[in-house]
Amino acid sequence: MTPETTLRPRRRSIWMLVALAIVLNAGACDRAEPVAAAPASKNAPLLFPFSLSDAAPKWNQAYQRALRDRLATLAQRDDAISQLDIVRLQPLLDGYYTAPPTGVHQERERALRRAQALAAPGDDTPFWYEAAICAHAEPMPGTQCDPNPALAHLQRSDADNAAVWLMSADTAAARGDQARIDTALLHAAKARRYDIRYGRNATETMRALGELELPALDEPARAVLNSDGLLADANLHDARMALAGGAFPLPSPLAFQRRCRTAAAAPAGTDAELHAACTAIATRMADSDTLIGQMFGLTVMAQLSARSADGAAWRERLRTHYWQSAHLQQRPNLIRDLPRVWRVGEVATFAERLKAAGLDRPPPDWLPESPLPRSLVLTGRYIDPPPAAQP
């Protein structure tokens, strides 16, 4: 799976960002074009909360009832935090992205406007949420809204954050406006930070969930939480952390990936300004404190540097990233790492865990098993595997 296909709304769980990198190592679809979400299968792994309606219907009904009651209570409170908590919690409603209850998206719009009006001076969080929800290069279910007013605000309040300009590039891509894509990328290249507000938003979502009275876990719900066998003693705090992962939006810089892939493939010396901008953005993302930011940066840099003297060093960093991602799944109680992840950062937390296990560096001859990531590590280019033999 590639960066472009990994952030389908119904799979945006926080600990699944780790699984995202693990899937990358498998190379299921390493070059990205958006695809429809695969239909559920009887053999599909259980995911909390996405599997609850089928695997734990009784608990899910009680939890959904409590969630609706909480949203109704918040709607009566005229303060910025309560209004933004509506936006934080709504994505947990069953069918939010596929068949939302009547009026849900209109209520999101109203809550965002009220949160923006009530926010403290200098607090642009409600504008960030609106941009992250609405700014996409490709249509996404449940997110048909205009990000431009929020992006205009963020371009003033958080202009030194490359993530803001990459969302602007995605918005331009949705309109087919190539000139504005390139302008946004040039702004992103000048930014000194790449910050998707991961830890802050997750912490606030967890706070909002702490005020939601959940029903006691029954055995089917506990089985969904313990689907990987690592949470046999699962409790409501674990459930809240798992729910937090499905609740907030994460920007996916599709226009950046596509445009910079084109720049990497162009003849040497072609459009030097764009190549330099892509290099600056990807370098900053490669140093991100999130796995997904690091993944975007390293995969793009491996391509941009394929013909450069530093290409081998970038490909080695990518090889190490693939190796570490493949071994993160061996960590026990993954969900219980999240408070430290939110506070310190994903990359630092998981690097520490892997180093303690002696898994921080790959053996000299190790390569990803799947052909697409392997070709990227070896050459800086994606090489199509041979077609399957016909029976």
Distances, alpha carbon 311 to alpha carbons 303, 314, 362, in Å: 8, 5, 18
Higher pLDDT, 178 or 37: 178
Give percent of the chain above pLDDT 70.
Answer: 84
pLDDT surpassing 90 at residue 122: yes
pLDDT surpassing 70 at residue 36: no
- Cβ atoms within 10 Å of 17's Cβ, excluding its own: 22
d(C-alpha 316, C-alpha 295), whole Å: 13
In 3D, which of 344, 334, 259, 337 has the Cα closest to residue 304? Answer: 259
Lowest mean pLDDT of 50-54, 124-128, 129-133, 310-314, name the range: 50-54
Query: Can you state the angle between helices 291-304 and 272-286, rounded to 10 degrees?
Result: 150
pTM (predicted TM-score): 0.87
Q: What is the pLDDT of residues 247-299, one digit of tens each?
A: 878 888 999 999 999 999 998 888 899 999 999 999 999 999 998 899 999 99
In 3D, which of 298, 275, 291 has the Cα closest to residue 326? Answer: 291
pLDDT of residue 248: 77
Answer for the pair 242, 284: CB distance below 8 angstroms, yes or no: no
Higher pLDDT, 37 or 362: 362
Mean predicted confidence (pLDDT) in 359-376:
92
Structure tokens at 359: 């898994």
pLDDT of residue 334: 63
d(C-alpha 384, C-alpha 223), whole Å: 40
């162009």: which residue's tokens? 266
